[in-house]
Structure 1
Amino acid sequence: MWEAVLAADEGRLRAPARVSAELGSGRLVFTTGALEGEWFGYRSYDSFGAEPGEQVVVLHDWETGRVRGVAVGNELGPRRVGAIGGVAVDALAAPTASSLALIGSGTQAFTQLWAIGAVRRLSSVRVFSRDPERRIAFVRRVSEELGLPVIAVGSAREAVEGADVVVLATSSPVPVIDPAWIADGAFVTTLGPKQVGRAEFGPELVDRADLVVTDSVAQTAAYDPPFILAGTPQQERLTSLGAAIAENVTGRTVLFCSVGLAGTEAYLLARLIDSAYGVQ
């Protein structure tokens, strides 16, 4: 994903905003991408609400158009989002960051811990979500599968205060933390809703940050309803993750708005196929 983020910044990875087709009671959504001269592809998923449902990622050869690979299931998408979050932490969080606060206990929350734990040695993880039973089950899974020092706490504030890295991974339409809880020099990732009138954080959190980064500026411009910062002076502060890495942009307190860089699912599938068949 580090490679993909830089390829997007250089213009080699074409990564337009996602598109969708209305199909009555639901939509079929596509995120598309192309690596110049190598491949093009897409991921598709629906909004019909079936659980668990399945996503499909399809990879085509650039020259022939033939299908090089297909991934079916719901594993690839969350892993690449987690990996992009890991790239952001690796590039922009303090090298000494070791304590993490996690608000949320779903699939995206797990893959963020999986990836961040690969780029930072975490000394403590504090988890809060609204459902106590789900929170405890999540902590048990993290401890067993990732081997991280993790505990469940009783409030978002208890999780966030003093943490070096804060991850918001909720579906909440309203802010889930108070920006005053964020420590100076902390790194914050937001994965949930971030549109006007529906966002898991407020503009005040942006004011709290010295650097505001996203993996896809194109996607923030395409939101409907608009991205939470659209039309505000704060929008001018938004920097792409690829540009921040390439230009060595830094900030003491960092906010990363994860919105889903298109093409990264196909990029990941291409690398997995190459790895499986011994292509360097």
Structure 2
Amino acid sequence: MPAEPLLLSEDRLRALVALHLDVVDVIEQAFVALAEGRVIMPPIMSMELPMLNAEVDAKTAFIAGLDVFALKVSTGFFDNPARGMPSLGGMVNVLSALDGSVRAVFLDNGYLTDLRTAAAGAVAARHLAPEVVTTAGVIGTGLQARLQMRAAHLVRPFERVLVWGRDLEKAASCAADLAQDIGVEAEVCSDPRLLVKRSQLVVTTTPSFTPLVQADWLHPELHITAMGSDAPDKGELHPRCLTRADLYIADSAAQVRLRGEWRAALESGDWTGDDPAELGQVIGGQAKGRTDPRQITIADLTGTGAQDTAMAAHVLERLADA
């Protein structure tokens, strides 16, 4: 008989893992495994619920060499902040890669997704952003905006952070939190154009369906990580940003074709070239990353099941060591 599955609450998971460089390294290796062909990953299953202003996604992946794989269900109910609740939630089922039995259930309410998403942003910054970043900017004011800046600071310890959001009061709250959490100068920017112009590293963290960043705002020594376009019809960058950049990199080319910034550039006809390289290929040396400080680079992160499986395996390892 298989062992009784472990059941871990969000509080227990928060005590086990946090946003540190070890999590960034775990997610980096998930990118590498994907690039090396060691991952079996089906397309994301998505369910849009427009009448509820909500969406539900299911992601899974098998990584050769790990003895577990994850099946994650994540929810986004975007009216929740008005109810005093977070927008994102969900749970992770961890199954044995040896016999298919359920090893664990993580009732994380989206916590592990938040961590691995922020860590993926740090991986992109580590390999694509300029070596020296003095000013970082974040477009968006929610939890992921805060986490992305904390994660980016782990690999590019900037001195100043700029925050833009449609609600300036929320932007001010986000800036205050970042100033306290990271210990940097934090400033609200009332114009996203100025935020981009003043930053060497920008992360977009919104569920926007209309472009927030225009191509003529891009400048030398800029890296952008776009991580909000995780569903069809979403998009934070004008499609011409991708061709304006010197280098555009995807987390998964197959995935961004369907739901990333590349999807919009293909549909608009702005992209007519070859498929983009993937971040794991840059990490592993199969594709070129930034080769000059003055280049403009863009990373398109849609979130992969491989990251969820890597994160689940990491949690079990931490639990075994605890």
2:247/2:296 contact within 8 Å kept: yes
Larger helix percent: 2
Give the paired residue count.
279
Q: Indicate yes or no: 2:40 matched with 1:4.
A: no
1:133 aligned partner = 169
CA drift of 1:190 comes to 1.1
Answer yes or no: is 1:272 the counterpart of 2:311: no
Q: 1:31 aligns with which of 26, 45, 59?
A: 59
Matched residues in 2 for 1:27 and 1:100: separation?
A: 30
Shift of 1:76: 0.9
Between 1:195-204 and 1:128-137, the stretch displaced more is 195-204
Residues 123-162 of structure 1 mapped to structure 2, 5 A cutoff: 123-162=159-198
Post-superposition CA distance 1:64-101 (Å, at most 9, x none): 22222222112111211110110011011111123111
Instruction: Provide the secondary structure at the position in 1 that maps to 2:161.
Output: strand
Shift, 1:23, TM fit: 8.9
The secondary structure found in structure 1 opposite 2:211 is: coil
RMSD value, Cα: 2.7
Q: Which residue of the partner structure matches residue 90 of structure 2?
A: 55
| Aligned-partner SS, 2:305 | coil
> Please, which of 27, 39, 56 is the counterpart of residue 13 of structure 1?
39
Q: TM-score, with normalisation over the residues of structure 1? A: 0.89
Give, in angstroms, the shift of residue 106 of structure 1. Answer: 1.1
Aligned-pair identity (%): 24
CA contact (8 A) 2:93 2:106 kept: yes
Describe the SS at the equivalent of 1:54. strand
Aligned to 1:42: 71
Contact persistence 2:235–2:260 (CA under 8 A): no
1-structure distance, mates of 2:210, 2:138: 17
CA 1:204–1:196: 2 relative to 1, 3 Å = farther
Residues 57 and 75, structure 2, Cα contact 8 Å, conserved in 1: yes
TM-score (norm 2): 0.78
What is the correspondence of 1:192-271 to structure 2 with a 5 Å cutoff?
Answer: 192-193=228-229, 198-223=234-259, 227-230=263-266, 232=269, 233-234=271-272, 236-247=274-285, 249-251=288-290, 252-271=295-314
Partner of 1:64: 99
Change in CA separation of 1:197 and 1:71 when aligned onto 2, cut-off 3 Å? closer
Q: Bigger shift: 28-37 or 105-114?
A: 28-37
Gaps of 5+ in 2: 1-26, 81-85
Q: CA deviation at 1:27?
A: 6.3
